[in-house]
Amino acid sequence: MHKHLRLALASATAAALTGGLLMALPATASAAPSGLVGDFNGDGRQDVAAGTPYATAGGKWEAGAVAVAYGSATGIGTKKTISQNTSGVPGSAEESDGFGQSTAVGDLNNDGYSDLAVGAPYEKVGDDTNGGTVVIVWGSASGLSGATTVKDPAVSGHDRWGQAVAIADFTGDGKADLAVGASGTTQWIIKGGFTKAGSTGSKITYTTTWTGSTGVLDLTAGKVNADAKADLVVSGEKKLGSERYLDRNFLYYGTTSAPTQKAELPYGKNIAVGDLDQDGYGDIVTGETEDATEGDLGSTGTTAISYGTSTGVEAAVELADGPYGRPSIGDIDGNGFPDLAVGAPVSDAAAEYSGAVLVHYGTADGLGSPVTFTQNTEGIPGSAETNDFFGTATLLKDLTGDGYADLVVGSDGENDANGMLTFVKGSATGITTDGAANYSPSAFSMSTAYYPQLGMFLVG
């Protein structure tokens, strides 16, 4: 078993960086970048990055890579893979670096193009084994190109710098900041002011006394309260026994300085943030909720929503989803109410552990009953097979630039753990399978040696 398989399988990321889908007008020929979150090349269409930390790069096992899918008028267009062997990316691919274990999207240098932050938490830094590293791959008119290392401000103070990353303006100064997770209890936010030469703004620390030595394993940015600062869900684990962990999640409000812990959220994995009921306050979706005493071995597989209010978040409401929910939020049908897609990768709806995605459409009366999609759904290419894990990760983003969020689904068990991405289009009537397509690692020129598991993580 891979040395960090449990973490990767348990933490498929479907983080929404804003309180809902940023609607894009249809792309037009223009030299000006769109400024749209998730648009790496500024063409008015959102793009997708799939962190693949188990991918082989340069012949190095589990060196890691990121598959990048650019949006087009019909869906996924240009495709490429970025690794530490890519020209312009600092370092070099080494065995078990885990490049792509964490990813986040946002415009860090304020040039109108979204950038991609990538963590490689098992990178050896000097003599520091598993010291970890974070790089920013820069957006431009030609897409992602060139990268800059974000220096660890406390190399001797922790390990696995970059095992979690998130991008948003947490301090309200109008500049995007970078939150970075590492081992231990002291965590970091690097303030905006990023340049390709390596400059950043000041560095802020905050303490998470509730985490164990593993530190912060996931970070999800979004807007929950109504001020001008982004908020942050900070996730880690508490060890309950030799093989049992309790995954804990805390909401931190953004402030002009260090983020402030506001509330504890349901136990579980995989967080998404968005204003589902359109009341001006962000709602927090927790996937794969857990039993407080049995931890991850007592997962109920349900999805819980903590609705935001003027005074904080309400007690969570559970959805009848499962098993093992992987959520994403976006407006598929363009009715102004965000929808919720929940991946259920070990669902037996079509075949044993073949997986499914349940889509709850948003309305003025709340979320509707789920519509289930599997690889046996008419129009979705391929077929449901045992251990495909369709729904390992989900992402709702407008790749076509038509104002409707499209659905990208990861299936990290497909084809003997090579993995796969599936694109399904959004429309005024909801998900349509017209033009649905599958993309294997080879579509991104990614090696299929040693089980890369493409589709484990998705951001955009």
Which pLDDT band, with edges at 50, 70 and 90, does 29 fall under? very low
Which pLDDT band, with edges at 50, 70 and 90, does 328 fall under? very high
Helix, strand, coil proportions of the chain in percent (round to 5)? 5, 40, 55
Instruction: Give the pLDDT score at 210.
Output: 78
Instruction: Give the pLDDT score at 255.
Output: 97
* Model confidence at 17: pLDDT above 60: no
Which pLDDT band, with edges at 50, 70 and 90, does 16 fall under? very low
Grouping H, G, I as helix, E, B as strand and the rest as coil, residue 287 is: strand
Instruction: Give the pLDDT score at 250.
Output: 97
Q: What is the mean pLDDT of residues 44-48?
A: 98
Contacts of 360 (CB under 8 A, 6+ apart): 319, 339, 340, 341, 342, 367, 368, 369, 370, 371
Question: What average pLDDT does the chain have?
Answer: 92
Instruction: Give the pLDDT score at 351.
Output: 94
Q: What is the mean pLDDT of residues 314-324?
A: 84
Instruction: Give the pLDDT score at 322.
Output: 66
Q: What is the mean pLDDT of residues 167-181?
A: 98
Beta strand ranges found along 169-296 (DSSP E): 177-181, 186-190, 203-207, 216-222, 231-241, 244-253, 260-264, 268-274, 283-289
Instruction: Give the pLDDT score at 202.
Output: 97
Q: What is the mean pLDDT of residues 288-298?
A: 89
Instruction: Give the pLDDT score at 324.
Output: 75
Pairing of strands 203-207, 48-52: unpaired
* Model confidence at 291: pLDDT above 80: yes
CA 134 to CA 120: how far, in whole Å?
Answer: 6
Instruction: Give the pLDDT score at 26.
Output: 36
Instruction: Give the pLDDT score at 21.
Output: 34
Instruction: Give the pLDDT score at 323.
Output: 67
Instruction: Give the pLDDT score at 103.
Output: 98
Lowest mean pLDDT among 24-28, 52-56, 304-308, 333-337: 24-28
Which pLDDT band, with edges at 50, 70 and 90, does 31 fall under? low
Instruction: Give the pLDDT score at 147.
Output: 98
Tokens of 359: 């889509």
* Model confidence at 297: pLDDT above 90: no
**8 Å CB contact between 113 and 120:** no
Per-position DSSP letters for 115-169, written without gaps between them: EEEEEETT--BTTBTT--EEEEEPP-TTSS--EEEE--TTGGG-S-TTSEEEEE-
pLDDT tens per residue across span 336-393: 999 999 999 999 999 999 999 999 999 999 999 999 999 999 999 999 999 999 999 9
Q: What is the mean pLDDT of residues 55-66?
A: 98
Pairing of strands 48-52, 326-330: unpaired
* Model confidence at 403: pLDDT above 60: yes
Instruction: Give the pLDDT score at 13.
Output: 35
